[in-house]
Amino acid sequence: MSHYYRTAQLNIVSDVELPSLPSISAESKIDVRIERADFLLSEPSESAVNLTRLGIQPNFALIKNGHFFDWIEHGKYQILDGNLINYDGKASSSAYLEHFIINEVFASIFFQRGAYLLHGAAALNPDGTATVVFGEPGAGKSTTLGMLVKSGAKVLSDEIVVIQFIEGKPFLYPFVPLLRLWGNSAQYLGYEQTNSEKKYEFPVPPLEEAFPLKNAISLKQGEHFEVGNGADHTFHLDLFGNFPLPRTVLTPVEQMRRFQASADLIRLCKCYKVQRNSSSFEPMDEWINELLKL
Protein backbone atom coordinates (compact mmCIF):
# COMPACT_ATOMS: atom_id res chain seq x y z
CA MET A 1 0.00 0.00 0.00
CA SER A 2 1.26 3.47 -0.88
CA HIS A 3 1.20 6.38 1.56
CA TYR A 4 1.53 10.00 0.44
CA TYR A 5 3.14 12.86 2.34
CA ARG A 6 4.40 16.38 1.78
CA THR A 7 7.22 18.12 3.62
CA ALA A 8 9.79 20.78 2.73
CA GLN A 9 7.71 21.33 -0.44
CA LEU A 10 8.39 17.77 -1.62
CA ASN A 11 5.69 15.21 -2.50
CA ILE A 12 6.58 11.78 -1.14
CA VAL A 13 5.22 8.31 -1.81
CA SER A 14 6.21 5.61 0.67
CA ASP A 15 5.46 1.92 1.10
CA VAL A 16 5.80 2.39 4.87
CA GLU A 17 3.73 4.68 7.05
CA LEU A 18 5.46 7.85 8.30
CA PRO A 19 2.98 9.35 10.78
CA SER A 20 5.34 12.18 11.73
CA LEU A 21 4.99 13.71 8.25
CA PRO A 22 1.93 15.61 6.98
CA SER A 23 -0.18 13.29 4.83
CA ILE A 24 -1.74 14.28 1.50
CA SER A 25 -3.98 12.63 -1.07
CA ALA A 26 -2.44 10.62 -3.90
CA GLU A 27 -0.29 12.82 -6.13
CA SER A 28 0.73 12.31 -9.75
CA LYS A 29 3.86 14.44 -9.29
CA ILE A 30 6.19 12.63 -6.92
CA ASP A 31 9.53 14.09 -5.81
CA VAL A 32 10.74 11.32 -3.48
CA ARG A 33 10.00 7.58 -3.37
CA ILE A 34 10.59 5.38 -0.32
CA GLU A 35 10.72 1.63 -1.01
CA ARG A 36 11.95 -1.60 0.51
CA ALA A 37 14.62 -3.15 -1.70
CA ASP A 38 17.50 -5.61 -1.73
CA PHE A 39 20.87 -4.04 -2.43
CA LEU A 40 24.57 -4.69 -1.90
CA LEU A 41 27.37 -2.26 -1.15
CA SER A 42 30.25 -2.43 -3.61
CA GLU A 43 32.28 0.41 -2.04
CA PRO A 44 33.96 0.18 1.39
CA SER A 45 32.12 1.86 4.25
CA GLU A 46 33.56 3.50 7.34
CA SER A 47 32.22 4.63 10.69
CA ALA A 48 30.59 8.08 10.61
CA VAL A 49 32.38 9.36 13.70
CA ASN A 50 30.47 12.66 13.86
CA LEU A 51 27.04 10.93 13.99
CA THR A 52 25.27 9.06 16.75
CA ARG A 53 21.63 8.03 16.80
CA LEU A 54 20.08 5.72 19.40
CA GLY A 55 23.61 5.31 20.72
CA ILE A 56 24.82 3.91 17.38
CA GLN A 57 27.51 5.26 15.07
CA PRO A 58 26.48 4.15 11.57
CA ASN A 59 28.74 2.91 8.83
CA PHE A 60 28.58 5.18 5.79
CA ALA A 61 29.77 5.23 2.20
CA LEU A 62 29.57 7.54 -0.78
CA ILE A 63 28.19 5.44 -3.63
CA LYS A 64 27.37 6.11 -7.25
CA ASN A 65 24.61 8.72 -7.34
CA GLY A 66 24.16 8.78 -3.60
CA HIS A 67 24.78 7.69 -0.02
CA PHE A 68 24.73 4.43 1.92
CA PHE A 69 23.97 4.09 5.65
CA ASP A 70 24.31 0.94 7.75
CA TRP A 71 22.65 1.42 11.14
CA ILE A 72 23.94 -2.01 12.23
CA GLU A 73 21.07 -3.92 13.91
CA HIS A 74 18.56 -1.40 12.53
CA GLY A 75 19.31 -2.06 8.87
CA LYS A 76 20.70 -0.42 5.77
CA TYR A 77 19.59 2.49 3.57
CA GLN A 78 20.44 3.76 0.11
CA ILE A 79 19.65 7.37 -0.81
CA LEU A 80 19.96 8.01 -4.54
CA ASP A 81 19.72 11.00 -6.90
CA GLY A 82 17.83 13.14 -4.40
CA ASN A 83 14.62 11.25 -5.17
CA LEU A 84 14.84 7.63 -3.94
CA ILE A 85 15.19 6.04 -0.51
CA ASN A 86 15.69 2.27 -0.36
CA TYR A 87 15.70 0.37 2.94
CA ASP A 88 16.47 -3.31 3.42
CA GLY A 89 14.62 -6.12 5.19
CA LYS A 90 16.38 -5.61 8.52
CA ALA A 91 15.42 -1.92 8.47
CA SER A 92 11.81 -2.84 7.71
CA SER A 93 11.63 -4.91 10.91
CA SER A 94 13.16 -2.20 13.11
CA ALA A 95 10.84 -0.31 15.45
CA TYR A 96 12.87 2.79 14.55
CA LEU A 97 12.43 2.71 10.77
CA GLU A 98 10.60 6.04 10.64
CA HIS A 99 13.04 7.58 13.12
CA PHE A 100 15.99 6.94 10.81
CA ILE A 101 14.10 7.99 7.67
CA ILE A 102 13.03 11.39 9.02
CA ASN A 103 16.51 12.23 10.28
CA GLU A 104 19.80 11.44 8.50
CA VAL A 105 18.17 9.55 5.62
CA PHE A 106 16.02 12.50 4.60
CA ALA A 107 18.92 14.85 5.33
CA SER A 108 20.74 12.99 2.54
CA ILE A 109 17.82 13.67 0.19
CA PHE A 110 17.98 17.39 0.99
CA PHE A 111 21.76 17.47 0.62
CA GLN A 112 21.57 15.78 -2.77
CA ARG A 113 19.05 18.45 -3.78
CA GLY A 114 21.48 21.23 -2.90
CA ALA A 115 20.16 22.29 0.51
CA TYR A 116 22.28 23.88 3.21
CA LEU A 117 21.76 21.72 6.30
CA LEU A 118 22.20 22.19 10.03
CA HIS A 119 21.66 19.96 13.03
CA GLY A 120 19.45 22.25 15.05
CA ALA A 121 15.96 23.69 15.36
CA ALA A 122 14.05 26.42 13.56
CA ALA A 123 11.00 28.59 14.11
CA LEU A 124 8.72 30.89 12.15
CA ASN A 125 8.80 34.29 13.87
CA PRO A 126 5.60 36.31 14.36
CA ASP A 127 6.81 38.78 11.69
CA GLY A 128 7.00 36.08 8.98
CA THR A 129 10.77 35.58 9.12
CA ALA A 130 12.62 32.59 10.58
CA THR A 131 15.08 31.89 13.38
CA VAL A 132 17.52 28.97 13.42
CA VAL A 133 19.15 27.59 16.57
CA PHE A 134 22.12 25.22 16.64
CA GLY A 135 24.99 24.38 18.96
CA GLU A 136 26.80 21.83 21.04
CA PRO A 137 24.91 18.79 22.41
CA GLY A 138 22.93 19.58 25.54
CA ALA A 139 23.07 23.34 25.02
CA GLY A 140 19.29 23.53 24.68
CA LYS A 141 18.37 23.75 21.00
CA SER A 142 14.91 22.25 21.42
CA THR A 143 14.35 24.12 24.68
CA THR A 144 15.17 27.38 22.88
CA LEU A 145 12.73 26.39 20.14
CA GLY A 146 10.12 25.84 22.85
CA MET A 147 10.85 29.32 24.21
CA LEU A 148 10.41 30.79 20.73
CA VAL A 149 7.02 29.07 20.52
CA LYS A 150 6.14 30.36 23.99
CA SER A 151 6.84 33.90 22.72
CA GLY A 152 4.59 33.52 19.67
CA ALA A 153 6.69 31.68 17.08
CA LYS A 154 5.79 28.41 15.33
CA VAL A 155 7.86 25.26 14.88
CA LEU A 156 9.47 24.80 11.46
CA SER A 157 11.78 21.91 12.35
CA ASP A 158 13.48 20.29 15.31
CA GLU A 159 16.59 18.21 14.50
CA ILE A 160 17.25 18.63 10.76
CA VAL A 161 17.20 22.24 9.53
CA VAL A 162 16.74 22.72 5.77
CA ILE A 163 17.87 25.99 4.15
CA GLN A 164 17.80 26.85 0.46
CA PHE A 165 19.23 30.01 -1.05
CA ILE A 166 16.66 31.66 -3.32
CA GLU A 167 17.93 34.57 -5.40
CA GLY A 168 20.94 34.68 -3.10
CA LYS A 169 18.98 34.84 0.17
CA PRO A 170 18.54 32.04 2.76
CA PHE A 171 15.05 30.60 3.17
CA LEU A 172 14.08 28.06 5.79
CA TYR A 173 11.85 25.13 4.85
CA PRO A 174 9.48 23.37 7.26
CA PHE A 175 10.31 19.75 7.95
CA VAL A 176 9.00 17.27 10.56
CA PRO A 177 6.29 19.14 12.56
CA LEU A 178 7.37 18.02 16.03
CA LEU A 179 8.72 19.77 19.11
CA ARG A 180 11.01 17.49 21.15
CA LEU A 181 11.52 18.44 24.80
CA TRP A 182 13.03 16.85 27.88
CA GLY A 183 10.60 16.70 30.77
CA ASN A 184 12.17 19.52 32.80
CA SER A 185 12.01 21.86 29.79
CA ALA A 186 8.44 20.77 29.06
CA GLN A 187 7.49 21.52 32.65
CA TYR A 188 9.01 25.00 32.52
CA LEU A 189 7.28 25.77 29.22
CA GLY A 190 3.89 24.74 30.56
CA TYR A 191 3.43 21.30 29.02
CA GLU A 192 1.70 18.80 31.27
CA GLN A 193 4.53 16.32 31.76
CA THR A 194 5.99 15.24 35.06
CA ASN A 195 8.99 12.98 34.33
CA SER A 196 12.00 15.28 34.05
CA GLU A 197 14.23 12.44 32.80
CA LYS A 198 12.07 11.58 29.79
CA LYS A 199 12.02 13.17 26.33
CA TYR A 200 8.65 13.98 24.78
CA GLU A 201 7.50 14.68 21.24
CA PHE A 202 4.73 17.24 20.80
CA PRO A 203 3.05 17.35 17.36
CA VAL A 204 2.55 20.86 15.99
CA PRO A 205 0.54 22.18 13.01
CA PRO A 206 2.54 21.65 9.80
CA LEU A 207 3.60 24.65 7.73
CA GLU A 208 3.99 24.74 3.95
CA GLU A 209 5.90 27.82 2.83
CA ALA A 210 9.60 28.65 3.01
CA PHE A 211 10.44 31.70 5.11
CA PRO A 212 13.36 34.16 4.94
CA LEU A 213 15.97 33.53 7.60
CA LYS A 214 16.44 36.49 9.95
CA ASN A 215 18.20 35.21 13.09
CA ALA A 216 20.89 32.57 13.59
CA ILE A 217 21.72 31.55 17.17
CA SER A 218 24.75 29.44 18.11
CA LEU A 219 24.39 27.92 21.60
CA LYS A 220 26.93 26.62 24.06
CA GLN A 221 26.74 25.61 27.71
CA GLY A 222 28.27 27.78 30.41
CA GLU A 223 27.98 28.85 34.02
CA HIS A 224 26.10 32.05 33.25
CA PHE A 225 23.96 33.61 30.52
CA GLU A 226 25.75 35.73 27.94
CA VAL A 227 24.93 37.01 24.45
CA GLY A 228 27.62 37.98 21.95
CA ASN A 229 27.78 39.11 18.34
CA GLY A 230 28.18 36.08 16.09
CA ALA A 231 29.27 37.89 12.94
CA ASP A 232 32.91 36.73 13.11
CA HIS A 233 35.11 33.89 11.89
CA THR A 234 34.20 31.62 14.82
CA PHE A 235 30.60 31.52 13.62
CA HIS A 236 31.85 29.76 10.47
CA LEU A 237 33.27 27.03 12.70
CA ASP A 238 29.99 26.73 14.59
CA LEU A 239 28.06 26.34 11.33
CA PHE A 240 30.52 23.78 9.99
CA GLY A 241 30.47 21.79 13.23
CA ASN A 242 26.69 21.42 13.19
CA PHE A 243 26.48 19.54 9.90
CA PRO A 244 24.00 16.63 10.28
CA LEU A 245 25.59 14.16 7.83
CA PRO A 246 28.89 12.27 7.76
CA ARG A 247 31.74 14.66 6.95
CA THR A 248 32.69 12.33 4.10
CA VAL A 249 30.00 13.94 1.93
CA LEU A 250 31.83 17.27 2.16
CA THR A 251 34.20 16.79 -0.74
CA PRO A 252 36.54 19.74 -1.48
CA VAL A 253 33.94 21.16 -3.87
CA GLU A 254 31.15 20.75 -1.30
CA GLN A 255 33.33 22.25 1.44
CA MET A 256 33.90 25.36 -0.65
CA ARG A 257 30.20 25.54 -1.47
CA ARG A 258 29.28 25.27 2.22
CA PHE A 259 31.89 27.86 3.23
CA GLN A 260 30.48 30.36 0.74
CA ALA A 261 26.90 29.65 1.82
CA SER A 262 27.92 30.09 5.47
CA ALA A 263 29.55 33.42 4.62
CA ASP A 264 26.36 34.54 2.87
CA LEU A 265 24.25 33.44 5.84
CA ILE A 266 26.43 35.37 8.29
CA ARG A 267 26.35 38.44 6.07
CA LEU A 268 22.58 38.41 5.53
CA CYS A 269 21.31 37.37 8.99
CA LYS A 270 21.56 38.63 12.54
CA CYS A 271 23.95 36.20 14.21
CA TYR A 272 24.24 35.62 17.95
CA LYS A 273 26.56 33.49 20.08
CA VAL A 274 24.69 32.61 23.25
CA GLN A 275 26.01 30.93 26.36
CA ARG A 276 23.42 29.54 28.74
CA ASN A 277 23.27 27.55 31.94
CA SER A 278 21.07 24.54 31.17
CA SER A 279 19.68 24.57 34.71
CA SER A 280 18.47 28.18 34.45
CA PHE A 281 15.64 28.91 32.00
CA GLU A 282 14.57 32.50 32.77
CA PRO A 283 17.47 34.56 31.32
CA MET A 284 17.28 32.78 27.97
CA ASP A 285 13.49 32.95 27.93
CA GLU A 286 13.53 36.71 28.58
CA TRP A 287 16.12 37.30 25.85
CA ILE A 288 14.14 35.24 23.32
CA ASN A 289 11.03 37.27 24.11
CA GLU A 290 12.93 40.50 23.42
CA LEU A 291 14.58 39.09 20.29
CA LEU A 292 11.21 38.48 18.65
CA LYS A 293 10.29 42.13 19.20
CA LEU A 294 13.26 43.37 17.14
Range of the domain at 261: 116-291
Final residue before a domain boundary, out of 91, 112, 133: 112
**282 in the same domain as 163:** yes
Cα 194 to chain centroid distance, Å, stands at: 27
The domain that holds 162 is classified in CATH as 3.40.50
Q: What pLDDT is recorded for position 191?
A: 87
**143 in the same domain as 102:** no
Q: Quick one: DSSP state of residue 126?
A: T
**190 in the same domain as 168:** yes
Q: Is the pLDDT of residue 229 over 70?
A: yes
Region 77-90 average pLDDT: 98
In order, the DSSP letters of 268-281 are HSEEEEEEE-TT--
Which residues fall within 8 angstroms of residue 222, CB to CB, at 6 or more apart? 275, 276, 277
**137 in the same domain as 224:** yes
**pLDDT per residue over 236-265, tens digit each?**
999 999 999 999 999 999 999 999 999 999
Q: How many domains does the chain have?
A: 2
Final residue before a domain boundary, out of 63, 94, 112: 112
**147 in the same domain as 61:** no
Average pLDDT, rounded, for the chain: 95
**pLDDT per residue over 57-66, tens digit each?**
999 999 999 9
